[in-house]
């Protein structure tokens, strides 16, 4: 017997193209359209999930864009640096009767002449400025009351309520002669040593007396000419931070006694603010206020406004903390995927549980009873329809030929 070999193809499989090779790794298999079943309830659930996902994505983006503030503490090692003092105060006394200067415990005196601007003003505000000041005062008081509960507001408040946001625009009324110049607006920036000191507004002009004494001389001025009612528009230490609310911003004190003394005890805390691409060294402070009437029979008791300050040996570092961009993307993916998976699972449970219950023995009995009730109800309805239709069929004329 002769055996012949037929022509057959190569036993090796043909070489696949790169696209076919990639398709072999596809784990996201596609179903034919004929195998898909879309329902109106599924479409409604999908729209709801997309809407909720959009809201959550917007919330995540806002949280990522707005960084968190992290507070850390360490010993302040820069004890030999200088402190910058920024002040803007309006006193209800004429500029020629008062002066502002500083004196630290090291014996160094810093006079305001040439370092601060004395500007004639009216202490009584016009209606527009009074409304603006009261709004700013309300916001500052609210922040001072709640800053222990929400410390980030001290650094994230809008600058329209903070640094130098109140501008005294009463010059137009002054020029027209509607109001007298009965007050003095003092604005200045000073650099002092990082030791305890005293900044004060007192009657007269300051002089260094013998033995290192520091005195103020106010000749030919009556006691009735002094009024130390004042409005602190701004008081800060260090570089000015636009989004910070200071404890003495928008503070107003009214005096009805020319011998009244206002004392502010200030504890200064060095603060370093670290942003994403820069850092800023500044200061925070806390205050204690004590007012009393000066006793004229004591040499060290004179009316005025005193700011006694001292530095704290700890440094507070405020750092902006923002999560990594990769972490942000992972959170978004987990949010959307988890939401779709959870809603899909809930929908599947809602659709499957009734079917399982109906296929059980009690479910079949309930289904049979329900079908009987339904048939009886539909049978009664059909019977009523027939009863109503029967008289209509008998309305033929008996004498009719048909």
User: Domain segments of the chain: what residues?
Assistant: 41-67+323-343, 69-321
Above 60 in pLDDT, residue 158?
no
Please give the average per-residue pLDDT across 315-343, as a whole number.
Answer: 85
pLDDT for 194-218, tens place per residue? 889 999 898 877 666 555 566 666 6
pLDDT-based confidence at residue 184 (cuts at 50, 70, 90): very high
Q: What is the pLDDT of residue 164?
A: 43
Residue 89: band (very low, low, confident or very high) from pLDDT cuts 50, 70, 90: very high
pLDDT in tens, 220-254: 667 667 889 999 998 999 887 766 778 888 899 99
Among 176-180, 188-192, 229-233, the minimum mean pLDDT is found in 176-180
Mean pLDDT, the chain, whole residue set: 75
pLDDT of residue 149: 45
pLDDT of residue 153: 52
Q: Which residue has the higher pLDDT, 35 or 77?
A: 77
* Residue 283: pLDDT over 70: yes
Q: For residue 101, what pLDDT band results from cuts at 50, 70 and 90? A: confident
For residue 8, the model assigns a pLDDT of: 53
Tell whether the torsion through CA atoms of 318, 324, 329 and 330 is positive or negative: negative
pLDDT at 265: 94
Q: Which residue has the higher pLDDT, 3 or 374?
A: 374
User: Which pTM value belongs to this model?
Assistant: 0.62
Encode pLDDT of 40-58 as tens digits. 767 787 788 888 888 888 8
User: What average pLDDT does this structure show over 351-364?
Assistant: 73
The arithmetic mean of pLDDT across residues 181-205, rounded, is 87
Q: Are the CB atoms for 272 and 236 separated by under 8 Å?
A: no
* Sign of the dihedral defined by the CA atoms of residues 43, 46, 52, 57, in that order: negative
Give me the pLDDT at residue 175, please: 40
The whole-number pLDDT of residue 87 equals 92
pLDDT bracket for residue 263 (50, 70, 90)? very high
What's the whole-number mean pLDDT along residues 333-343? Answer: 85
């Amino acid at each position: 017997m002769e055996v012949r070999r037929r022509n057959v193809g190569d036993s090796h499989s043909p070489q696949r193209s790169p696209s076919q090779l990639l398709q072999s790794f596809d784990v996201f298999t596609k179903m034919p359209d004929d195998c898909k079943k879309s329902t109106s309830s599924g479409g409604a659930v999908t729209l709801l999930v997309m809407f909720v996902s959009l809201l959550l994505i917007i919330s995540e983006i806002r949280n990522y864009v707005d960084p968190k503030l992290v507070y850390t503490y360490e010993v302040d090692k820069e004890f030999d640096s200088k402190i910058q003092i920024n002040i803007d105060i309006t006193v209800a006394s004429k500029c020629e009767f008062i002066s502002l200067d500083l004196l630290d415990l090291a014996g160094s005196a810093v006079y305001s002449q040439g370092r601060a601007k004395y500007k004639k003003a009216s202490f009584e505000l016009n209606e527009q400025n009074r409304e603006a000041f009261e709004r700013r005062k309300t916001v500052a008081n609210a922040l001072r009351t709640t800053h222990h509960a929400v410390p980030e507001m001290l650094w994230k408040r809008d600058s329209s309520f903070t640094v130098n946001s109140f501008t005294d625009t009463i010059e137009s009324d002054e020029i027209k002669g509607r109001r007298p110049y009965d007050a003095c607006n003092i604005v200045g920036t000073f650099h002092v040593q990082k030791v305890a000191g005293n900044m004060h507004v007192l009657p007269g002009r300051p002089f260094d007396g013998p033995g290192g004494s520091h005195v103020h001389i106010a000749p030919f001025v009556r006691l009735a000419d002094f009024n130390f009612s004042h409005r602190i528009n701004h008081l800060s230490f260090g570089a000015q931070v636009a989004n910070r609310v200071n404890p003495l911003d928008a503070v107003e004190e009214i005096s009805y006694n020319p011998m009244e003394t206002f004392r502010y005890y200030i504890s200064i805390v060095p603060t370093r603010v670290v942003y994403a691409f820069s850092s800023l060294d500044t200061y925070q402070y806390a205050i204690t206020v004590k007012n009393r009437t000066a006793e004229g029979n004591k040499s060290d008791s004179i009316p005025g406004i005193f700011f006694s300050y001292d530095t704290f040996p700890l440094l507070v570092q405020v750092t902006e903390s923002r999560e990594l961009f990769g972490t942000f993307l992972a959170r978004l993916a987990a949010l959307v995927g988890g939401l779709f998976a959870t809603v899909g699972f809930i929908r599947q449970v809602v659709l499957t549980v009734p079917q399982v219950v109906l296929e059980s023995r009690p479910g079949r009995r309930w289904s049979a009873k329900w079908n009987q009730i339904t048939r009886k109800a539909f049978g009664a309805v059909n019977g009523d329809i027939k009863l109503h239709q029967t008289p209509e069929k008998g309305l033929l004329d008996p004498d009719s030929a048909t």
